[in-house]
Amino acid sequence: MWVLMPEFFLIGCFTFYFVLSLSRVPWRIRPLSKGLALLAFFLTLITFGEQGEFFSGALKVDTFTQVFKAICAFGFFLVFCLLKPEGEDHEEGYLPELYGFLTLSLLGLMVLVSAEDLLSLFIALELSSYCLYVILPLRKGGYLGSVEGSLKYVFFGAVCSALALYGMGYLYALSGTTKLGALVVEGGLFSSLGFLLFSVAFFFKLSLFPFHFWAPDVYQGASNSVAAFIASVPKVAALAVLLKIIGLFPQESKGLKDALWVIAVLSMTFGNLAALVQKDLKRLMAYSGIAHGGYVVLGLLEPGIEAKVAVSFYALVYLLMTLGVFLVLVGVSEKGKDVLIEDLSGLYSRSPLFAFTLAVSAFSLIGIPPTGGFMGKLFLFVVAYKAGHKLLVLIALVNTVLSLFYYLNMVRLAYSKESLGPRSPLLLSTLDKVLCLTVSGLLLLLGVFPSPWTDFLYKVAV
């Protein structure tokens, strides 16, 4: 059971936060929560390499799933570091609930990554989602948009869950089992339809078109730190499950691939076009996430080792560059308020380190060398090109050029435009400086020296 130590530790953390929420004892919860989140990440590293099956095969832990668990835990720690006492965007009295439900959501995502049964997948998916439904309205000041975003998240989540259950019903009827490895995957109409409907729940997590409608309003309505969590960590877990699902299909299964082809094109194009006209930075990141979901689908079109490596590499890079932007967003935000694009004006004069972090993250989101985003997109494009999807790669390249306009606009405002009105310099804490240097350094390191990480992924993906 040592291999499940990260999950058991998260259960213990949630229990601690739950008791704390009942007792209302004035603990120093912020530094304590960061320490617990860091310990959870270390536990995923300590247990790395351990393997095992649990609950009659409903959960299976191997080296490849542990990679995604470690990435999720690392993103979880970074999100906890974004929560600050100054300018806090959550109601002070609900901090134990906030930390507790975020921890429980991470637990659901970790179980989701390890799940090998339809039922355990669905339960883990709902656990991770319901926790977010609860904490979305906890934004400070009773912000109306947070309630609206929460309701939209619940509604669209319920619809996608229902579709996923329909798909599970088809798959169970065809196979007579709920085990992923024993499902019928002959590529017929009902098999393809079942897998496609079941995948809807994970398309929802990735905010792929047409399951994206919730994302802009939820991002804007959520507090900055919760939006950072929703924009990054659940998407990593969803990619891990989609890799499992796609890997079950034979090469000749054309129906699902055609559907993924269309979803990729629509997600990339719609996401980039909608992002061009956004004024709110969180809404821009929501549409950016839709577009990047389309990019990553290129790696899901063909099962194989190269696809696994490309998607896994991009999962880490996407988490880093997204949280890099949110790190700056939280630092610029005044008392947890929403940040407009124009608020980035003159950022270099207020904080050169924040401006540098924003520039590296934006260049990586575009795919400009020598950042990790460039190598991530390159790997995805190569996988799709080798599989014969040349037109799709061309469309992805055109969308990448289209994204230049709104990403470079952020950098232009930060470096070349004076701030709107007199604004005091931003004072960065030691933790802020460490986070900025860590995120920027990792993005540049993965762009210049990707081989150690890709070589490692090749070994664990076999």
Three-state helix/strand/coil letters over 49-81: CCCEEECCCCEEECHHHHHHHHHHHHHHHHHHH
What is the pLDDT, as a whole number, of residue 430? 87
CA dist., res. 267 & res. 262, Å (int): 8
SS3 356: helix
SS3 395: helix
CA dist., res. 361 & res. 288, Å (int): 12
Look up the domain containing 418 and give its range. Answer: 2-461
Q: Dihedrals φ, ψ of 340, to 5°? A: -90, 160
| Number of independent structural domains in the chain | 1
What tokens does 43 get?
Answer: 């536990």
* CA distances, 153 to each of 38, 229, 277 (Å): 29, 14, 23
What tokens does 433 get?
Answer: 């400086």
* CA distances, 254 to each of 142, 168, 260, 333, 367 (Å): 49, 20, 10, 47, 30
Whether 406 contacts 281, CB under 8 Å: no
**pTM of the shown model:** 0.91
User: Which regions in the chain score pLDDT beneath 50?
Assistant: 86-87
Radius of gyration, CA atoms only, the chain: 21
How many Cα atoms are found within 13 Å in the side-chain-facing hemisphere of 143? Answer: 25
**Cis amide prior to 210 (ω within 30 degrees):** yes
Neighbouring CB atoms inside 10 A of 320's CB total 28
CA dist., res. 443 & res. 396, Å (int): 21
Task: Residue 218: name the closest of 150, 127, 126, 140 by CA.
Answer: 150
SS3 425: coil
What is the pLDDT, as a whole number, of residue 252? 53
Rounded to 5, what percent of the chain is helix, strand, coil? 75, 5, 20
Burial class (CB in 10 A: 0-12, 13-18, 19+), 252: exposed
What is the pLDDT, as a whole number, of residue 422? 55
CA dist., res. 327 & res. 432, Å (int): 8
Beta strands in 215-306 (DSSP E): none
What is the pLDDT, as a whole number, of residue 251? 56
Burial class (CB in 10 A: 0-12, 13-18, 19+), 189: exposed
SS3 179: strand
CA dist., res. 121 & res. 127, Å (int): 10
Strands 52-54 and 59-61: antiparallel
Residue 5 sits at the vertex; the CA angle it makes with 63 and 103, to the nearest 5 degrees, is 100
* CA distances, 8 to each of 5, 18, 229, 260 (Å): 5, 15, 21, 36
Whether 180 contacts 122, CB under 8 Å: no
